[in-house]
Chains A and B, each alone.
Chain A
Amino acid sequence: EAGVAQSPRYKIIEKRQSVAFWCNPISGHATLYWYQQILGQGPKLLIQFQNNGVVDDSQLPKDRFSAERLKGVDSTLKIQPAKLEDSAVYLCASSPRLAEAYEQYFGPGTRLTVT
């Protein structure tokens, strides 16, 4: 089966610009996650969707970050305006169903550099 797809793989922007990342989860997976991974650290959950509803966005900086999952499939994560500290890899993951989601499948990530 096809894995989690993300695009773009790399993005370089200047601070105060905006950027958007796209994620296509594994077909049929109801739960979708966005993580931020800063160099040298483990991934940190930003937001979790169950179908097209938000389950957890407690660590999403809502003044500049937004995410949506229209129709419960694809998702986009947006940053506006970007700051230098947003430089990180943004990982998307999906899992089959909330109750059985002991295993999350991760995409390759988008590496964002803010200059």
Chain B
Amino acid sequence: DAKTTQPPSMDCAEGRAANLPCNHSTISGNEYVYWYRQIHSQGPQYIIHGLKNNETNEMASLIITEDRKSSTLILPHATLRDTAVYYCIVRARGFQKLVFGTGTRLLVSP
């Protein structure tokens, strides 16, 4: 039941910015955009979330378009440890279920 579309894979050179797109054209007004990532053999890790304003934390930045139909997760200076599967999820706050799609497999290379 995932409501998002992401490219299956992306490559990025170490030290460069990684820009991961997500399409969520059917997002509702009360739904937030969440990003999680899953490094190999680990459980998913929360990265960031937002409603309509751009957000930034120590891990990444989240840019949400004005119409909220798409967003981009930005890792400003990718490292080899950022190699992971990145999941974009839309979910209403207070409704706890996370519905994961297949995500984007990001490979950061030297």
Contact with B along A89-108 (1 / 0, CB 8 A): 00101010011011111111
Contact A43 B44 (CB under 8 A): yes
- What bracket does the count of chain B residues touching chain A fall in? 20 to 34
Please tell me if B96 contacts chain A, counting CB pairs below 8 Å: yes
Contact A31 B101 (CB under 8 A): no
Please tell me if B26 contacts chain A, counting CB pairs below 8 Å: no
Number of residue pairs across A and B with beta carbons under 8 Å?
Answer: 53
Please classify the interface of chain B as helix (H, G, I), strand (E, B), loop, or mixed, using the class held by over half of its residues: loop
Nearest CB in chain A: distance from B89 CB, A: 9
List residues 66-110 of chain B with CB under 8 A from any CB of chain A. 87, 93-94, 96-103
Please tell me if A45 contacts chain B, counting CB pairs below 8 Å: yes
Contacts of B96 in A (CB 8 A): 31, 33, 48, 55-56, 95, 98, 101
Residue from A45, A102, A107 in contact with B43 in the complex, judged by beta carbons closer than 8 Å: A107
Contacts of A109 in B (CB 8 A): 42-43
Given known pairs A102-B34, A102-B93, the reply for A45 and B98 (CB within 8 Å) is yes
Contact with A along B29-50 (1 / 0, CB 8 A): 0001010000001111110010
Q: Please list the 7 inter-chain residue pairs (A to B) with the smallest Cβ-Cβ separation, ordered nearest first.
A: A106-B43, A42-B100, A103-B46, A43-B100, A106-B44, A91-B43, A101-B96
Measuring CB to CB, which residues of chain A are less than 8 angstroms from any residue of chain B? 4, 31, 33, 40-45, 48, 55-56, 91, 93, 95, 98-99, 101-109
